Structure 1
Amino acid sequence: MRHVISICGDCEGDGAALAAAVAARDPGAEVRVVPCMNLCSRPVTVAARAEGKAAYLFGGVTPDEAEAVATFARMYAQAPDGVIADARPLGRLRLCLIGRIPA
């Protein structure tokens, strides 16, 4: 199953730097820099999706949170339905969650 972490490259924040830092921390993650995800009021936007799993959307993520995004990517890949029951290991990133979309 392919797990994709998409990071907005158009935001005023530094999406490309965040994507590179996440990919370096989790070489198994498929990290993509994508065009605008229309959440410009909360740069940088990060989305996670995989077939048959819940999808996630985060806003206001900074390059300083690359380790938390990489941790999330690993937790997401291990969750059979994509649902992360205990988000405490994600630190501030859990407060950036905008929504979880059911599979």
Structure 2
Amino acid sequence: MTPMPNHSITVCTSCRHKGTTCKPGFQLIEKLKDAIEAAGDAVSDDFEISGVACMAGCDRPCTVAYHGSRKAAYLFGDIDPDADVDALVTFARQYATLNDGWCNASARPQKLRAATLARVPAAIIAMEADVGRAS
């Protein structure tokens, strides 16, 4: 039985280059899947790659998100399917090793430093004891 991936990479499929009908997300998904597979077990078994209709990064297409359970999530924009796949794979390797997903911009691949649109802290749900309430 194949283990479930611990991490996800989500690519916007509706982003368009300004003034064109080109939707680079579909191309990026295929290139990223191929590159992750070529990276071998160090990355491929731990990541699921999928597309989503919109991530609200329309002014900076193509947008890509990294997320994992109990980890900070990242949203990157201005990703070029022809030039940036290596940086995305490098960050996947890095992200997989980060316990909480947190890293400074200077630790990310050069291309992704300026392409970071957001880093969202991991959701932590606090539960209070239900003390003193009668049923």
**Same fold per TM (> 0.5)?**
yes
Larger Cα Rg: Structure 1 or Structure 2?
2
CA RMSD of aligned residues (A): 1.3
Runs of 5+ consecutive residues of structure 2 not aligned to the other structure: 18-23, 38-43, 123-135
Alignment of 1:67 with 2:92, yes or no, is: no
Matched, 1:33 2:51: yes
Aligned length: 101
Aligned to 2:10: 6
Instruction: Write out per-residue CA displacement over residues 28-77 of structure 1, whole angstroms, 9 at most, x where no aligned residue.
Output: 13111111111111100111111100000111111110111111111111
Task: Give 4+ residue runs of structure 1 displaced > 3 Å after superposition.
Answer: none
Superposition TM-score, scaled by structure 1 size: 0.89
Q: Which runs of 5+ in 1 are unaligned?
A: none
**TM-score between both structures, scaled by the size of structure 2:** 0.70
For CA contacts below 8 A with separation 6 or more, give which structure has more relative contact order: 1
Question: Paired residue for 2:72, among 54, 57, 63?
Answer: 54
Q: Secondary structure at the match of 2:84?
A: helix
The one of 22, 25, 30 equivalent to 1:15 is 25
Task: State the one-letter code of the partner of 2:87.
Answer: A
